Amino acid sequence: MYKIGLGHDTHRLVEGSSILLGGVRIEHSRCLLGHSDADVLLHAITDALLGAAGLGDIGEFFPDTDSGNKNRDSAEMLRIVWNTVRSQRWRIANIDTIIFAEHPKIAPYKEAIKNKIAQILEIAPNQIGIKAKTGEKVGIIGREEAISAECIVLLEEDL
pLDDT in tens, 10-20: 999 999 999 99
pLDDT in tens, 117-146: 999 999 999 999 999 999 999 999 999 999
Instruction: For residue 22, give the amino acid letter.
Output: G
Q: Which of 48, 35, 33 is nearest to 78 (CA)?
A: 48
* CATH number, domain containing residue 78: 3.30.1330.50
Residue 159: per-residue pLDDT: 82
Which residues, including other chains, have CB under 8 Å from residue 5's CB and lie 6 or more apart? 47, 48, 49, 50, 51, 52, 53, 152, 153, 155
- Count the domains in the chain: 1
Tell the burial category of 63 from Cβ atoms under 10 Å away from its Cβ (0-12, 13-18, 19+). exposed
Q: Domain limits at 61?
A: 2-157
pLDDT > 90 fraction of the chain, expressed in percent and rounded: 89
